[in-house]
Amino acid sequence: MNLDEAQRKKVAEWVAQGLKLSEIQTRLDSELGLRLTYMEVRFLVDDLKLVPKDAEPAKALKSPLTEPAAKAGGGAPAGRGGAAGPTTKSAEPATKPGGVSVSVDQLARPGAVVSGKVTFSDGNRAQWYLDQAGRLGLAPEKQGYRPPASDLQEFQMALEAQLSNMGL
C-alpha cells in the first residue's frame, strides 16, 4: 500500500495517540477512504516502522493462581523471535511454586487465535494454542508426553486467568 506523505503522518499521529490497529483500520476507511484488511493495516504500520503503544496491563485480580507469580517476580522464559517463532509476552505468567506456569505469545502461531507456552509441575514444557473453533491444543516438547490430570486442570485455570487479564 502506497500512501502519500500526509497520509503517512496521519497514521503516525493515530499510532502516537495510542489507537489500536482496528481503530486505525476504521479511520483509514472513514477519513481517508482506504479500505484495508486488519492484516494490511498491521503490515502498513510495520512498513512505516511505527510501534503501537501497548495498552496498560489490567490490574491483576488477587487469586491463588496469580499471587505467587507477583511475589516470585519471575518473568516468562525468552521466546524465539523473528520468523523462527512467536515471541513470548513479558507479562507475568500465571504460576504456582512447583506448579504449572503459563505464558501467552505476543504473536499467535499460524492457525491459532492465541498461543503460548506452559511448564508443568514435573518440569516438562509444551506449547499450547486455541484455534478458531475454540479447541485447545498442546504440543509437548517431549514426544508422547502426557501431563498429569491435576496439572491439566491447573493449566486450564491458569490459562483462563491469563486470558481474562488480557481481556480475551
Q: How many domains does the chain have?
A: 2
Nearest one of 16, 95, 25 to 53, comparing CA atoms: 16
Question: 15 with 71, same domain?
Answer: no
Question: 103 with 35, same domain?
Answer: no
Cα 17 vs. chain centroid, distance in angstroms? 22
Question: 93 with 147, same domain?
Answer: yes
Nearest one of 69, 58, 77 to 126, comparing CA atoms: 77
Q: Is residue 52 part of a domain?
A: no
Nearest one of 22, 29, 21 to 46, comparing CA atoms: 21
Question: 159 with 110, same domain?
Answer: yes
pLDDT in tens, the chain (168 residues): 678 888 888 888 888 888 888 888 898 888 888 888 888 888 888 888 888 776 555 555 554 444 444 444 444 444 444 444 444 444 444 444 568 888 888 888 888 889 999 998 888 899 989 888 888 888 898 888 888 888 888 988 888 888 888 776
What is the pLDDT at residue 161? 86
What is the pLDDT at residue 84? 44
Q: Which domain holds residue 14?
A: 5-47
